[in-house]
Amino acid sequence: METMKPWPSSPAITRIHATTTTNTMILRPSQSLLFPQASLLPSPKLPTKKAPNAIARKPQLSEHPNTPTSDSGLLFREKILYLENHLNVDSHKALTLNPHFRSAPLSTVKSVELCLSSMGIERSAIGRILDMHPKLLTSDPDLDLYPVFDFLLNEVGIPFPDIRKSIIRCPRLLVCSVDAQLRRTFDFLTNLGFVGRNSITCHTALLLVSNVEGTLLPKMEYLQQSLGLSYEEVVTMVLRSPGLLTLSVENNLVPKVDYFLTEMKGEVAELKRFPQYFSFSLERKIKPRHRLLVEHGLSVPLSRMLKISDGEFNARLLETRLRMVEDR
């Protein structure tokens, strides 16, 4: 009986099959879809010794949709789209200012959003807060955020509905340490007299983010020295107008003190009665109104000069001029 011989095969194909037990990846059809112009089988015209090099290069084909690298890329893209489209946060700014955000999962961002939302902060405000302080994107609500809310509510005494207003007015509260910053400043302000009817509210909670030695005391010392006031007199001014402690010495207090003393020839006693003078714009309100009064030979107290609107100021100025004409 004649024995049948096996059908002859090319050496290259025999080589491929001989190695499939050690590298099954090369026979997966999905890879030919990713690289349609590259054949997974070496050409029969090529020498057999070239086949091992082709096989050795196969592990570099790692862009299959189911690989971990591709999955992480998709998750990163999902996170970026959520940040930009859902929260309207600048992702480039976030990645630049907070490099840890690159490796943080989307669930971290959502937990921060949920925490802020639980305090009544709407999504649009949450987006602005996170865009201002990208550090918050990788914060832990239990360790970083809720302690701030608890401090404002139970130690400072701000009512729960006003916690939202405090944060929106000063998002920086959320990136300050309660122990290292907020409580120390709160104790200073309390000793200063911010108690009772002068207690810290949602309107003055932004004072809590100021450093005592580096920010608050230098402002008070400048007012003492430039106006010749006692410490107690400055404290009284600050309690009547807490905004004084938020103003820059160089850009605000110095030019306004100089203008008041040199151009307006004002009395320091009037500043003590109306410390709100420092909260008005020097260029847009103080100078224009003072010059109009000087031009018409008029002089009024600071409160009457600044507290009213432009329309009311002009109406009163015209009324005064008409009265002066009638009296002649």
CA dihedral 184, 185, 190, 194 (to 10 degrees): -170
What is the per-residue pLDDT across 172-181, written as a single tens digit (0 to 9) for each? Answer: 999 999 999 9
To which residue do tokens 């239990």 refer? 142
Residue type, 167: I
The two structure tokens encoding residue 314? 């002009």
Closest by CA to 233, choosing from 242, 243, 223, is 223
> What pLDDT shows up at residue 327?
65
pLDDT in tens, 125-161: 999 999 999 999 999 999 999 999 999 999 999 999 9
Q: Is 157 left (phi over 0), alpha (psi -120 to 50) or beta?
A: left
- Do residues 28 and 58 touch, judged by C-beta distance below 8 A? no
Please report the pLDDT score of residue 321 as a whole number.
80
- Angle subtended at Cα 96 by Cα 67 and Cα 181, rounded to the nearest 5 degrees: 120
Instruction: Quote the crossing angle between the two packed helices 231-240 and 183-192, to the nearest 10°.
Output: 110
Q: Which residues of the chain have pLDDT under 70?
A: 1-71, 326-328
DSSP state of 174: G
Q: Which residue has the tokens 């990846």?
A: 25
Tell me the pTM. 0.73
- Between CA 267 and CA 261 the distance in angstroms is 7
* Cα distance between residue 128 and residue 90, in whole Å: 10
Distant-in-sequence, close-in-space partners of 12: CB < 8 Å, separation ≥ 6: 41, 42, 43, 44, 46, 48, 51
DSSP-derived secondary structure for 232-260: HHHHHHHHH-GGGGGS-IIIIIHHHHHII
Compute the distance between CA of residue 148 and CA of residue 141 in angstroms, rounded to an integer: 10
Q: How far apart are CA 108 and CA 274, in angstroms?
A: 48
**How far is residue 148 CA from its own chain's centroid?**
16
Every domain of the chain and the residues it spans:
280-328
Nearest Cα neighbor of 235 from 248, 217, 256 is 217
pLDDT of residue 63: 42
Q: What is the pLDDT of residue 318?
A: 86
